[in-house]
Chains A and B, each alone.
Chain A
């Protein structure tokens, strides 16, 4: 178990103040850039000295402002994959890993380094310098190097952000498998929802130097606890609106969403605390919105809106269709559905989503 509780004031506008625990397995640190994720990693590694707090790994105290403990970086046994990897350019891949295996008797270093490179599928690159290997290979070499030092904790700072998606997802899978044996607490900083969901485990959501939410990535992404979490976890539709009616009996309320140019659209959402006239925000995932080529009748979805396609954006796994209906909605569909519905810009289309697909932030 890695326990992190650090406070560090960095200038007048920003204070890092986080407190969370990471069990063996992957804990994803998720949040906008500048929210303090990397600073947290640096504090755990000992590269940043907190003003106050306590960091311990597996019961071993690495930092404790109360008792004045501050274990030097070199003795923390915290493996750290920097965003740019920092592979030593003057050493080959093998030498990089061998250098890290300093705790192993001299005669066994090479063997250990080679077996780690092999384990990570980059034994073929052993004799190459960092600038002679591909991005994905460099990631694997850096991971082998970090593991060669027998860390107790592993920190990965957006390690895959520079890679293509297929390469990235394969490495994520390998990392997950590898850690099923090692059982290290891994802090994994990422911007990518896919990575967060694939790595599973736990997620800690950062917002301006604080922990906004923690839990399983599935939970956090499915039901964001706050508007900021919703925004961070990529809920595409977030609109401001005014409560126009409350129906206590049905457990719903009507919210009028304000669009640009005075246009508006009315949606039915789950009943909240807000009184009529109160301003609220409504969030709907693009994946929860159905598109229909004709006006749908007899369906359970309480929100059926007529709109016009304004843009179609191809994403890696799906297609995002933007629909004007007072406000601009984003709906994800498969390519197949896109063709079948004959969707194209300017075409009339109906949006449908359930009351309970709407989350209201009051």
Chain B
């Protein structure tokens, strides 16, 4: 039996880590905005950000292709700046995985920030603290448990992204073939043992992350 090719797994880990980083930054900002600021179209923004959770991955992938492709606004700007493309690269895979994971982060971040008693923030303001300091020293630490749970959910989701990644980044072994895509590829080609190894690893990782997330929320209720 040939050695199992684990390179898709490493690519998946790298893509999921990078997209989680982006998702945490954007998700915390959006979650705070949705929880703490009243503005026109707030719920519309929430709905738009949540869409990837319910849309078919192919629809999300299609939108991303339109945006990131050579003719799309983001793709064109990126190419002008760096001279390279986004579509059919691992960077494209990062963006696709991030788009799929963002709703999970935004939803948990909004709930986590909303769960912080505004009186703490008001108290910090009366002590002369700027809005940034209030956020950094009061809101963020008090919401940290929920935010961490959100980040872990987002990572788990990014690790397993399939449809959107396939449409945006393609299936290029060694370059854009993530674990989820490699499983599809292996079963299509009849290489079942390759598929099983990746299936088991992905399942175990997802289970561990969900379990840890639950433990985190349960501990949050106790205190």
Interface set of A (CB-CB < 8 Å, partner B): 45-47, 72-80, 82, 84, 86, 88-90, 99-100, 102-103, 145-146, 148-149
Contacts and interface: CB of A to CB of B under 8 A. Distances in A.
B125 A86 contact: no
B127 A149 contact: yes
B142 A47 contact: no
Nearest to B126: A80
A84 B119 contact: yes
Interface of B: 117, 119-120, 122-131, 133, 137-138, 141-142
B49 to A, nearest CB: 28
B127 A100 contact: yes
A88 B128 contact: no
A45 B121 CA distance: 13
A264 B137 CA distance: 65
Given A89-B142, A90-B141, A102 B127 contact: yes
Given A102-B128, A103-B128, 6 more contacts: A78-B126, A79-B126, A79-B127, A80-B126, A86-B119, A145-B127
A166 to B, nearest CB: 27
Interface of chain B: mostly helix, strand, loop or mixed:
helix
B122 A73 contact: yes
Contacts of A103: 128
Contact of A73 (B117, B120, B125, B137): B125
A99 B127 contact: yes
A86 B141 CA distance: 15
Contact of B142 (A75, A78, A90, A148): A90
Contacts, number: 61
A152 to B, nearest CB: 11
Sorted nearest first, the 10 A-B pairs with minimum C-beta distance are: A86-B123, A73-B125, A100-B127, A80-B126, A149-B127, A86-B119, A90-B141, A74-B125, A149-B128, A74-B128
Contacts of A45: 122, 126
Contacts of B131: 74
A99 B119 CA distance: 16
B35 to A, nearest CB: 18
21 contacts: A45-B126, A47-B122, A47-B125, A47-B126, A74-B125, A74-B129, A74-B130, A75-B128, A77-B128, A78-B126, A80-B123, A82-B122, A82-B123, A86-B117, A86-B120, A88-B142, A89-B142, A99-B124, A100-B128, A146-B126, A149-B128
Contacts of B141: 90
A149 B127 CA distance: 6
B208 to A, nearest CB: 27
A90 B143 CA distance: 11
Contacts of B130: 74
Contacts of B129: 74, 99, 102
A82 B121 CA distance: 12
A40 to B, nearest CB: 15
A144 to B, nearest CB: 12
A67 B170 CA distance: 62
Contact of A88 (B126, B133, B138): B138
A82 B119 contact: yes
B40 to A, nearest CB: 19
Contacts of B124: 88, 99
A46 B126 CA distance: 9
Nearest to B122: A47
A82 to B, nearest CB: 6
Contacts of A84: 119
A163 B147 CA distance: 35
B92 to A, nearest CB: 39
A88 B122 contact: no
Contacts of B122: 45, 47, 73, 80, 82, 86
Nearest to A95: B137
A76 B122 CA distance: 13
A100 B122 CA distance: 13
A149 B120 CA distance: 15
Contacts of B137: 99
A100 B120 CA distance: 13
Contacts of B123: 80, 82, 86, 88
Most B CB contacts (10 A, CB to CB) among A72, A73, A77, A82 go to A73
Contacts of A99: 124, 127, 129, 137
Contacts of A148: 127
B74 to A, nearest CB: 37
Contacts of B142: 88-90
Query: Among B126, B129, B131, B137, which residue has the most Cβ atoms of chain A within 10 A?
Result: B126
Contacts of A74: 125-131
Contacts of A88: 120, 123-124, 138, 142
A213 B26 CA distance: 54
A145 B123 CA distance: 10
A73 B126 contact: yes
Contacts of A145: 127
Nearest to B140: A90
Contacts of B119: 82, 84, 86
